[in-house]
Structure 1
Amino acid sequence: MVKGLKIHSQAAQKAQSELFTEDALKFLAALHRTFEPTRQSLLVAREEAQRRYDSGVTLDFASETAHVRAEPSWHCAPPAPGLEDRRVEITGPTDRKMVINALNSGAKTFMADFEDSSSPTFSNMVTGQINLRDAIRRQIDFEVNGKKYKLSEKPATLIVRPRGWHLDETRVTIDNAPISASIFDFALYFYHNVHELVKRGLGPYFYLPKMEHYLEARLWNDIFNFSQSYVGMSHGTIRATVLIETLPAAFQMEEILFELRTHSSGLNCGRWDYIFSFIKKRRADRRAVLPDRKDVTMTVGFMDSYVRLLIQTCHRRKVAAMGGMSAQIPIKDDAKANEIAMDKVRADKLREVTAGHDGTWIAHPLINQIARTVFDEHMLGPNQYHVLREEVKVSAADLLNTKVPGQITDQGVRDNVSTSLAYTAAWIGGNGCIPLNYLMEDAATAEITRIQLWQWVKYQSRLDSGQTITVEYIDRLIKELTPGIKKIAPGIKDEHLKIAVDYLKGQIRKTWPSEFLTSDLMPYLALADGVEGQWQRASL
C-alpha cells in the first residue's frame, strides 16, 4: 500500500483488489500531491466569482484573453482515431449491461458516465471501472437468467466522463485529505487502459464536465501532460471534449479550447446543466427568473445564442461542436404518445444538424436510428467543420438574455417537486438515472427542478393563476405528492424519500441555493459505504 493513502470502504472488494494495484495507487497519489492544491485554489476562485455576481458584476468576455480570441491562426488537434465521425453519441452509466448495450447500440461513440447519470456509491465507481476495463479488452460478455450479453465485433468508440472538480472522493484519502473525484475517475481509467487502447488503435478519450474557467481547463491539460509522461506515452494521445454547461464557461469557449488545444476534441452543449447554471450564477438577479422547465427550450434567446457561439467557436478552431441530449425516451405502451415524443426528438436533432452541429447525444438505444437518419440526411461528411457560421455575432447581452416566453403554472411546480423528490431519493439509493413521465432524468435535470423551486420562492413569483409561490405552498405540494412518488419511481426506499423531502424543504428556505445537490448528499453515500464523518468536507 502507498504511504499516506487509505481506502475507507469495504464495498466491492473483488473490484477493489483488481483496481487498486500498488502501481495504480502510486499514480493516483502522484496526481493528488501534484495537483490538489491547484484544484482547491480554483474552487475558492469559483466562490469569489459568485460573490462578484451577487454584488451586481455582470458576466462578460475576459479582457485579459482578448488576444486568444482575436488570433485566427491557432487550431486544435485533428480528430483522433475513432472520433472522426461522432454523429450520434449514446450516454449512460457504467453498469455492465448498460455498457454492452450502449457499445452495441449502433451509435458512433459511447460516453460512459461516472458523473450525472451515476450515483457515486463506491461500488458503482469501482465496478464501473472494471466494466470499462473488460469492455476494452473484449472480456465483458456475461449471461444472466439464460440471457446472454455479448459485445459486437465493432462496438462504439468509448469516451469516459469523470466527475466534476467540485466533488471529493471521500472513500479514499491521501495525507489525511479526501482526493478529487475527478482525479480518481480519470487516474484509474487512464492507468489501467491507456496502453491497451493505443494497442487497439484508439486512445483514452474523455468528456470534461462543469468547468467554470479556462484555468480549470489548464489544470486538466497539465494533468494530461503529467500522466502521458508518467506512462511513457506521447503527448496528445489523450483527447478530451469539454461540456459547456456553466454560464461562465460560455464566455470562455475560445480560451478553454486554447488551453486544451493539443488534447482537444471539441465542445458539447450540456443544455440541462447550462440552464441550471444560468439560474444559479444569477441567483441575486430577479430578472433571471424563468418559467416552467418545459418552456426553457433550445430556441429561447439565451440558449440559442450559446449554441450558435459554440458552433462558430469550434469550427473556427477545427474541432467538433457536439449537440445535446433530448430528454424523451420511447413510450412502449402508447403508440400515439410515442409518436409525439419521437417527433420531438426528430425536430431537436434536425435543429442541431442544420445549425451546424457535428453530432448529437441520445440516452436510449432505440433512439439511435431516429438521430442517425436525421444526421445522415443532412451531414454527408464525417463532420461540418466547414460550416463556419461567420455571420454569427453573439454579445454578452445575448448570452444573458432572460426573455423566455412562458408562465409558471401549478402543474410546472408540481412536476418540479415530484422530479426533485423522486430523483434525490433514487440517487441516495444508488441510482443516478431514472425515467419519469417518459423523460430520462439525471442529476442535471434534477438540479433545474431544485433551483427553480428555490428561485420562485425567493422572488415570490406568481403562478399564471395569480397565486404567489411561497414556502407554505411548496410544503403543501410536497405533502400531497410524496405518497405517490414510489408509484412513479418504483424501488425507492422510505428512508431515502424522507431524506429527499427534508432536503427539498431545506433548500427552498435557504438564502442562497446549494452549489450542487450531489455535494450536499454525498455524505449519505459515504456513510453507507462505511466512511467516518471526519473525512466529509460537507455536513449532513
Structure 2
Amino acid sequence: MGLFEISAPPKGLELQYKELFTTEALNFVAELVLKFESEVEQILRDRQIKKIQLDKECVLPSFLEETKHIRDSDWRVAPLPERLLCRHVDIGDISPTNQELFHKALRSKASGVQVDFDDGHCPTWNNQIIGLYNVQQVVAGKIPDIDIATSPLLMLRPRAWNMMESNMMVNGKQVPGALFDFGLLMYHNAASLHRHKSGPFFYLSKLENHIEARLWEEILTFTEKQLKLPRGTAKVCVLIENILAAFETHEILYELRDHSLGLNCGVFDYSASIIQKFGKWKGFVLPDRQKYVSMNEHFLQQYLALVVQTCHQRACPVTAGMAAGVLPSNNKQKSQEIIENVLKSKRTEVVAGVDGFLVYDLGLVEPALQLLQEPRECVPKLNNQITSSDLLRIPQGGDTMEGLKHNIAVTILFIYAWFQGEGHFVYKGNVEDSATAEISRSQIWQWIRHQVPLETSTSTAAMATTESTPVTIVTVKLVKTLIEAFLLDCHNSDVMYKQDSRRLEAAARVMENIVTSREFLNFITTYLYESNIVKYMQKME
C-alpha cells in the first residue's frame, strides 16, 4: 500500500472525521487511487490532446466508424432492480452539507434525491466531511422518519474527473476527487444500501467518451469485488452533458451495460461544452441562452431524441434535466405561474419520450409526478436518423444586453457563493449552480473573443430607415463597465453585499480574469478550487 496523508480535522468536526476516516476506509481509497490514478491521468491528457486537435485541425466530431458494430448490434443493459423501474422525479442539486434540506428531500414524495458532491456543492474540507457524514447517518438509519428502504432513493453524485481532493495525498499526489467521493460513499454505505435493495446508485457527470465510461466500469467492478458485493450491484446514470459524449451514447451504455441505469440530459452543461470544444470558431457562437437556447431548438431537440432513442433501444430509462424554478413562500399566484411554466417546458420533454426529470424546489415534486402520470400525447419515433449536422446546428439568434448582464451576474454570484462555501444560490427565482455558471462565463468569453454585436431594441423596419443605427460590440471594456455597474447595484440594493463588499469585489475580479483569459478555461470549478484566493476568501469573517 502506498503512503497516504490526510489533512487534520477542521475544528468542531473531530467526531465526524474519526468516524469517516478510519484506517480501513482510507486504505480502501488509497487502493482505488493506486490502481486507477494512472488511467485517470491518461483521460485528462487525452482530453487535452483532443482539444488541441479540434483547435488545430478544425475537424468536427462524428459518429465513430470503429464502433459501428456496437450501435448496429442487438444488446441491452442488465435488468434494473425493482426500485429503479419507476423513477420519475428526482430532486436535484441537494448538497448533503445542507442537512435540513437533505432530510426534507428524503421525506418527500420524490422518486430519488440527487445527493450532490458536484455541480450544486462546494467541496471545502468542512463540506466534504459534513456531507459524507450526513449520508452515512441516513444510510445507518440514525435519522428519524427516514428509512432508506422506503424513502426516495439516494442518487449519489461524486465529483467529476476534473476535480482533485487536495486534503488527501497518496504517494505525494492529490487524489482524484471522483475516487475520493466514490470510494468513501461505497465503503461506508454500499453494503447497507444493497441489503435494503436501495442502491448504491450513482450519477456520473462530465464524461466525454466511451473510454471514460470503460474506466468507470473497471472501477465499479473492482470496488464490488473488494467489498464482496455481487457484480452489477452498483448502478449508474451517466449525464450526457458533453457534445463529444453525444456521439457515443450507445458505446457509453455498452461499456457500462452491467451497471447502467440509463442516461440523463442537461441543457446548460451540454451547451457550455460546445463553447468549450468549438468556442474559437466563429460559426459556433451561441446566442443569448435565455432567449434562444431551449429544448425547442433543433440541436437540443435532436440531442434529446438521440438519448431517448438510445436508452429505449437498450431497455433503460432516460431522464431530462432539472427544472430550476424556486417557488416563493408568500405568493401563491407567482408560485402557480412558475409551476405552469415548468410543466409546459417539461411536457415537451415528456412527449419526446423521457421517463423522468429533476426539480429543485420540493414544491414542484407533486405537480411533476402528476405530469408524468398523464397519457403521452405521442410515441416518439425510434430509429430516426440523427446526423452529426443535427447535433452541431447552432441556433439562429443574436446576443442581447440583457443576456450579457444576466451572464455577468450569475458568474460573479456563483464565485461569491463559492467564497462562502456554497455550491449554488437562488437568483431571480431560479437556482443557479456550476452548470449555469459554466454557460454564463463561457458565453461572455466567446462574445468577447468574437467581438459579437448585441441586438438592439430597434425594430427591423425602423433599422431599414435609419442609416446610422449604433451597434454595441461586446468588448473587454464593455464587460468591465457592466461589472462595475453590477457591483454598484448590489451595494445599493442588498445589505448583505454591502457588508461583504470585499468578497463580492474579489469575486468580480476573479470573474474578470476568467472571461478575459486568452485561452478558454475548461472548468470554472477546477479554477476556483485550485485558486489560493478562494481558500483565503472562504476563511474571511
TM-score by length of 1: 0.91
In the alignment, is residue 136 of structure 1 matched against residue 134 of structure 2?
A: no
Task: Give the superposition deviation at 1:528.
Answer: 3.6
**Is contact 2:139–2:192 with CA below 8 Å preserved after alignment?**
yes
Number of the residue aligned with 1:111: 114
Number of the residue aligned with 2:476: 471
In the alignment, is residue 389 of structure 1 matched against residue 366 of structure 2?
A: no
Number of the residue aligned with 1:146: none
CA distance in 2, matches of 1:320, 1:526: 42
Residues 294-322 of structure 1: CA distance to partner in whole angstroms, max 9, x if unpaired? 12111111111100000000000000111
In the alignment, is residue 236 of structure 1 matched against residue 232 of structure 2?
A: yes
Task: Give the superposition deviation at 1:337.
Answer: 3.5
Among 430, 434, 444, the alignment partner of 1:443 is 434
TM alignment of 1:96-495, pairs within 5 A: 96-141=99-144, 150-151=145-146, 154-295=150-291, 296-378=293-375, 389-404=381-396, 406-465=397-456, 466-485=471-490, 487=493, 490=496, 493-495=500-502
SS state at 1:360 partner: strand
Structure 2: 5+ residue stretches without partners: 457-470
Number of the residue aligned with 1:61: 63
SS state at 2:520 partner: coil
Task: Give the superposition deviation at 1:287.
Answer: 1.2
Number of the residue aligned with 2:6: 7
Seen in structure 2, the aligned counterparts of structure 1 residues 527 and 488 have a Cα distance that, compared at 3 Å, is closer
Seen in structure 2, the aligned counterparts of structure 1 residues 527 and 14 have a Cα distance that, compared at 3 Å, is farther
User: Quick one: which amino acid aligns to residue 435 of structure 2?
Assistant: A
Seen in structure 2, the aligned counterparts of structure 1 residues 270 and 488 have a Cα distance that, compared at 3 Å, is farther
User: Quick one: which amino acid aligns to residue 88 of structure 1?
Assistant: V
In the alignment, is residue 498 of structure 1 matched against residue 489 of structure 2?
A: no
**Is contact 2:77–2:316 with CA below 8 Å preserved after alignment?**
yes
Tell which deviates more after alignment, 171-180 or 325-334: 325-334
CA distance in 2, matches of 1:367, 1:488: 28
CA distance in 2, matches of 1:28, 1:109: 26
Seen in structure 2, the aligned counterparts of structure 1 residues 529 and 9 have a Cα distance that, compared at 3 Å, is farther
CA distance in 2, matches of 1:499, 1:173: 29
Seen in structure 2, the aligned counterparts of structure 1 residues 213 and 171 have a Cα distance that, compared at 3 Å, is same
User: Quick one: which amino acid aligns to residue 472 of structure 2?
Assistant: Q
Number of the residue aligned with 2:519: 512
Seen in structure 2, the aligned counterparts of structure 1 residues 489 and 263 have a Cα distance that, compared at 3 Å, is farther
CA distance in 2, matches of 1:450, 1:140: 40
Task: Give the superposition deviation at 1:524.
Answer: 4.4
- With a CA cutoff of 8 Å and minimum separation of 6, indicate the structure with the bigger relative contact order: 1
User: Quick one: which amino acid aligns to residue 258 of structure 2?
Assistant: T
Seen in structure 2, the aligned counterparts of structure 1 residues 379 and 187 have a Cα distance that, compared at 3 Å, is farther
CA distance in 2, matches of 1:265, 1:83: 8
Tell which deviates more after alignment, 311-320 or 10-19: 10-19
Tell which deviates more after alignment, 425-434 or 327-336: 327-336
Number of the residue aligned with 2:465: none
CA distance in 1, matches of 2:209, 2:8: 33
Seen in structure 2, the aligned counterparts of structure 1 residues 517 and 9 have a Cα distance that, compared at 3 Å, is farther
User: Quick one: which amino acid aligns to residue 392 of structure 1?
Assistant: N
Tell which deviates more after alignment, 330-339 or 207-216: 330-339
Q: Percent identity?
A: 31
Seen in structure 2, the aligned counterparts of structure 1 residues 403 and 428 have a Cα distance that, compared at 3 Å, is same
Residues 29-70 of structure 1: CA distance to partner in whole angstroms, max 9, x if unpaired? 110000000000010000111112112011111121111111
Seen in structure 2, the aligned counterparts of structure 1 residues 192 and 530 have a Cα distance that, compared at 3 Å, is farther
Task: Give the superposition deviation at 1:529.
Answer: 9.1
Number of the residue aligned with 1:538: none
User: Quick one: which amino acid aligns to residue 29 of structure 1?
Assistant: A
CA distance in 1, matches of 2:236, 2:130: 23
- Report the aligned-residue RMSD: 2.2
Number of the residue aligned with 2:459: none
Number of the residue aligned with 1:16: 17
Tell which deviates more after alignment, 248-257 or 291-300: 291-300
SS state at 2:203 partner: strand
Task: Give the superposition deviation at 1:379.
Answer: 6.1
SS state at 1:234 partner: coil
Task: Give the superposition deviation at 1:403.
Answer: 2.5
Tell which deviates more after alignment, 313-322 or 51-60: 51-60
Seen in structure 2, the aligned counterparts of structure 1 residues 435 and 188 have a Cα distance that, compared at 3 Å, is same
SS state at 2:9 partner: coil
Tell which deviates more after alignment, 339-348 or 425-434: 339-348
Task: Give the superposition deviation at 1:502.
Answer: 1.4
Seen in structure 2, the aligned counterparts of structure 1 residues 528 and 284 have a Cα distance that, compared at 3 Å, is closer
SS state at 2:445 partner: helix
